[in-house]
Amino acid sequence: MSKHERRRIETTGAPRATVGLLAALLLASAVGAGVAPRAVLAETPSASHTAEPGATPSPSPSATPTSVPPPGPAIGPTVLGDSVAFYGRGYGHGVGMSQYGARGRALAGEDATTILAHYYQGAVLAPIDPATRIRVLVLSRWAASEPKPLVIFGRVSPWSVDGVATTFPVDARLRLVPNPLTGAWRLVIDAADGSVLFDGPAPLDFTVRGVTEDVRLQLWSKPTRYDRYRGTLRVIVQSATRVSVVNDVSLEGYLPGVVPVEMPSTWPAAALQAQAIAARSYAARRLRPAVSYFDVPDNSTSQIYRGILAEKPATSAAVAATAGTVLLSGATIANALFHSTGGGGTESNENVFTSTTGKRIARPVAYLRGASDRAPDGTPFDARAPHATWVTRTYTRAQLSAWFAADPRTNVGDLIALDLHDRGSSGRLVSVTLIGVAGRRTVSGEIFRAVFNARRPSVDPSLKSTLLDTAPIP
């Protein structure tokens, strides 16, 4: 996120007389408490979260990190005019690697190791067995029926089903058919010409695997076109009609289906290699063989994984060039969080993953320190990103009041002012205090962003990050 200096905020329009009087009373009480009133702001400068990072955090750093200078003392709330627009920088939570920042650094000549050293301070490259496997939930509690059974095809090479003493030919089809009345399931496998090769009771937990490593298993029931996988498919019956499917694949077979989805394959090789190492670390950190039947889902709550059909030559080359390499902090694989666009700087984890009221509840993670992400001339490395800077539409204060009043977490009645001083090292809002005729409420920066985004007209620009203000951010 961008480095901020203290600056003046010009509000648009004048408050209505009654609201102006209430604002004066509120600000007078602030003066009585020893806080200077203002209509200016002491400004200091994330698919997907408002919780602490899922993996166990590293010990607190032993030294103050090099980062954007901390904000100055709070001066008080910003009184809103009759119309308000929000300006911001960046896209995403801001912790860890900025993907557009990595692109900019690669274009400036940095290699993957240098890029990673900036975004994960103090973490080191270390080996991991390339044969390490990961279990990816690729279909969760899918509803099957007799006319619409679960369907899997075996492509490229012959394949088999554990517990069935038959090898099936290329392009044979597996159907898993439920009987909701009895809770029993039937397994039917037929050849490409329609001849039935197997028909019998289905196990409630079985694995489909290739006879050779080059098998491609097609999960026909996947509701997207990205339905082909390396490795094996484990099928788990979970109720009379619900079934889940897990792709068990090596990390090196998994990553080619992740990296091109998380970063464009046309970007510089150094950025793609940095993404491959970060993605491998993120995945390896989440392996939990004794805890669950899967390690990660295939969606944006983790890393997006689309299997073979998403693979690109350039990103597969980046995965191969970094094979078996992860980031390590001490003896632990780093929780290599990343996001789209830092907006000129990244943020420390404890300032982002807070409680709903913005209280810092996460321990600082040594390698997830916020830092300026600008070239020596001050230009942000992510300056070419589509959301390097952004602005919402202009709304009346009455509109904002109604939107925030519709959510009990932010309901203060007629909105008078916003206290936006509580910011992290990058300028992202840690908390926001809404002040209105019904009192005041403090929420995390992410809750403030989420409520605004949920209530605004869907065709209007959203708040892309919590690095936002009521005037442009340098």
The pLDDT value recorded for residue 290 is: 86
Q: Phi and psi (nearest 5°) for 429? A: -70, 125
pLDDT value at position 183?
A: 86
Q: What percentage of residues in the chain have a pLDDT greater than 70?
A: 84
| Amino acid at the residue 269 | A
Q: What is residue 93's three-state secondary structure?
A: coil
Mean pLDDT over residues 323-345, rounded?
97
Span 408-434, mean pLDDT?
97
Which tens digits make up the pLDDT trace of 270-294? 999 999 999 999 999 999 998 999 9
Strands 150-155 and 97-98: unpaired
- Is residue 422 predicted with pLDDT exceeding 80? yes
Structure confidence by residue, pLDDT tens digits, 157-184? 999 999 998 999 999 999 999 998 888 9
Specify whether the CB–CB gap between 66 and 348 falls below 8 A: no
What are the pLDDT digits (tens) for 297-322?
A: 999 999 999 999 999 999 999 999 99
Tokens of 168: 């099936």
**Position 342 pLDDT exceeds 90:** yes
- Strands 296-297 and 133-143, by their bridges, are parallel
Is the distance from CB of 456 to CB of 404 less than 8 angstroms?
no
From 28-32, 162-166, 335-339, 445-449, the region with the lowest mean pLDDT: 28-32
Amino acid at 408: P
What is the distance, to the nearest Å, from the Cα of residue 265 to the centroid of all Cα atoms in its chain?
19
Phi-psi region of 257 (alpha: psi -120 to 50; beta: other; left: phi over 0): alpha
Q: Please report the DSSP string for 20-39 in residue order.
A: HHHHHHHHHHHHHTT----S
80-104 per-position pLDDT tens digit: 999 999 999 999 999 999 999 999 9
The pLDDT of residue 75: 65
Residue 138 has a pLDDT of 98
What pLDDT score does 180 carry?
85
Query: Which has the higher per-residue pLDDT, 34 or 257?
Result: 257
Gyration radius of the chain's alpha carbons = 26
User: What pLDDT sits at residue 5?
Assistant: 29
Does residue 77 carry a pLDDT above 50? yes
